[in-house]
A and B are shown apart, each in its own frame.
Chain A
């Protein structure tokens, strides 16, 4: 039971914003939402995490709904190197789902 639901795959044009949704309707009050990505044949890479407030760093922005039942990861200006599988994780980062395969197209 992955505890999160993500689209299997998404496409995005290079240079445009990539918006990756995640549903975590059973999230507990103190559980963080974490996002990682995994480029083919490499280990997962941390992107961002948040609890209640929206967060932004040099890689991405994280928008969490007020009821905390869903979130969206935003890559503001996607590049070809952002092609990867993106994972949204709760439950203390112990249970991973299948993620979203994001393909950035030229």
Chain B
């Protein structure tokens, strides 16, 4: 138990569906993240939120829409996805946001992930 909870753990959706992934962290952290892990590929950072504000969007297609209503909750809204979007989607949090500057003493805590299959 890492303190980061993701639901659902598994999701199958059609290309015309609209669904959402939910993440909640119980660690009192200020920063939250969405990562994507496709089969046989490294983790890819998608979005970074700090104090509910989006600070990084790593060129993610608009069919992925994040929402961060407060520092403890993060959603990923999914719409008109493609089969190649099938992947493990990981939510994470840290006390303060990690940055591209590389100066970071903040450990990231991951949830168990949501396995998404687009058919």
Contacts and interface: CB of A to CB of B under 8 A. Distances in A.
Interface residues of B, number: 26
A90 interface: yes
Interface in B101-117: 101-113, 115
Given A2-B42, A44-B43, A46-B108, A93 B113 contact: no
- Interface hub of B107, B113, B115 (most chain A Cβ within 10 A): B107
Nearest to B90: A43
A30 B104 CA distance: 8
A98 B42 CA distance: 5
Interface string B43-54: 111000000000
A96 B41 CA distance: 10
B111 A43 contact: yes
A34 interface: yes
Contact of A43 (B42, B101, B102, B110): B110
A30 B107 contact: no
A44 B88 CA distance: 12
Interface residues of A, number: 26
- Interface hub of B92, B110, B112 (most chain A Cβ within 10 A): B110
Contact of A96 (B42, B88, B107): B42
Contact of A90 (B99, B102, B115): B102
Interface in A27-47: 28, 30-32, 34, 36, 41-46
Given A93-B108, A96-B43, A97-B42, A43 B2 contact: yes
B102 A42 contact: no
Contacts of B2: 43, 45
Interface of A: 2, 28, 30-32, 34, 36, 41-46, 49, 51, 87, 90-99
